């Protein structure tokens, strides 16, 4: 099968990351046309895997091409795993990234050392015509800083410090983030499947 692969998202930052990761694969990626006109998929499942696969299945019914979707988020053991699957809605459904970061930093106030450990998790799925074809996952371990550092990336990137890098994703180049991020790691696994499907 040849042709483009569609990304089930309206997040241009996510599409940019995916395109950078796929640039040497020869696989063209685009957002689903008129995505904003499709009734939004409700991510109500308790796990990243169920939400990611459910999203891929749902949106693949609105396209003839293969559709990639993911559910990803920040898991903080000291907060019982929060914000977890609610990462994008942690400060309310219409909160800005800055408001979500501020809420999380408030929850982390007074926590030190190991209590500030966190991990970004990503589960990506590809589906076509309402059927899941593959599901992959990966993660990256890090430490939450006490204030935002850097303006790169999006979401919680400015407060997620990666020990191997020595700085936050908010201070990372696109290449650094793609090499180390949860989404980069999961999508590289997905690319293996997509390459075979494109033959």
Which listed residue (24, 30, 71, 157) is catalytic?
71
Calculate the average pLDDT of the chain.
92
Q: pLDDT exceeding 70 applies to what percent of the chain?
A: 98
Q: Is the pLDDT of residue 199 over 70?
A: no
Structural domain including 81 reads 5-198
pLDDT digits (tens, 9 = 90+) for 35-74: 989 999 998 999 999 999 999 999 999 999 999 999 999 9
Number of domains observed in the structure of the chain: 1
71 is catalytic: yes
Q: Are 6 and 31 in contact (CB under 8 A)?
A: yes
For 42, residues 6+ apart whose C-beta sits below 8 A from its C-beta are none
pLDDT digits (tens, 9 = 90+) for 70-117: 999 999 999 999 999 999 999 998 899 999 999 999 999 999 999 999
Please report the pLDDT score of residue 198 as a whole number: 62
Average pLDDT over residues 121-128: 96
CATH value at residue 24: 3.90.950.10
Average pLDDT over residues 142-162: 94
Q: Are 138 and 120 in contact (CB under 8 A)?
A: no
Instruction: Give the rounded distance of the alpha carbon of 45 from its chain centre.
Output: 16
| 128: confidence class by pLDDT, cuts 50, 70, 90 | very high
Please report the pLDDT score of residue 129 as a whole number: 95
pTM of the full structure: 0.89
Q: Are 64 and 89 in contact (CB under 8 A)?
A: no
Strand partners, 102: none
Please report the pLDDT score of residue 1 as a whole number: 42
Q: Is the pLDDT of residue 190 over 50?
A: yes
């Amino acid at each position: 099968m040849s042709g483009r692969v569609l990304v089930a998202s309206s997040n241009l930052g996510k599409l940019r990351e995916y395109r950078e990761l796929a640039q040497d694969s020869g696989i063209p990626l685009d957002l689903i046309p008129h995505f904003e006109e499709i009734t939004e998929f409700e991510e109500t499942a308790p796990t990243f895997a169920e939400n990611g696969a459910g999203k891929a299945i749902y949106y693949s019914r609105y396209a003839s091409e293969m559709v990639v979707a993911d559910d990803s988020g920040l898991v903080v053991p000291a907060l019982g795993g929060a914000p977890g699957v609610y990462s994008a809605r942690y400060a309310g459904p219409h909160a800005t990234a800055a408001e979500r970061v501020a809420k999380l930093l408030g929850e982390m106030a007074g926590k030190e050392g190991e209590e500030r450990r966190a991990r970004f998790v990503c589960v990506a799925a590809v589906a076509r015509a309402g059927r899941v074809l593959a599901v992959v996952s990966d993660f990256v371990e890090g430490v939450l800083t006490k204030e935002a550092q850097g303006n790169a990336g999006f979401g919680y990137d400015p407060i997620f410090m990666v020990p191997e890098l020595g700085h936050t994703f908010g201070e990372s180049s696109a290449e650094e983030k793609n090499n180390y991020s949860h989404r980069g790691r999961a999508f590289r696994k997905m690319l293996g499947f997509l390459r075979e499907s494109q033959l």
